[in-house]
Amino acid sequence: MIYWDYYPKIDMHGEFAVTAYTIVHNFITDQIKLKNEIIVIIHGKGSGKLKEEVHHILKQDKRVLKYHLDPNNLGQTLVHINIKS
């Protein structure tokens, strides 16, 4: 069993989809500098708009190796990043 609580995370509750790019991009940049290969983005369940925007951003980011919803908590996404980029 993997314990996602040990990985760096950012909580985006209350953020707007239009500001998501800057927040996610900067978080990934910081985590690459810190050599953290796995991160957690908490977007909540809500209407799903923020989750959709976060996933769109992750899909476009070449530093992201893969990402998926946490099967135990659909309000967060687990992201594997390339720390060598």
Q: What is the pLDDT of residue 47?
A: 85
pTM of the model: 0.92
CB atoms under 10 Å from CB of 26, counted, come to 11
Q: What is the pLDDT of residue 85?
A: 60
* Helix 49-60 / helix 17-33 crossing angle, nearest 10 deg: 50
Question: Mean pLDDT across the chain, nearest whole number?
Answer: 93
Q: What is the pLDDT of residue 69?
A: 96
Mean pLDDT in residue range 32-36:
97
Q: What is the pLDDT of residues 52-83, one digit of tens each?
A: 999 999 999 999 999 999 999 999 999 999 99
Query: Which residues neighbour 24 within 8 Å (Cβ) at sequence distance 6 or greater?
Result: 10, 12, 41, 54, 57, 58, 61
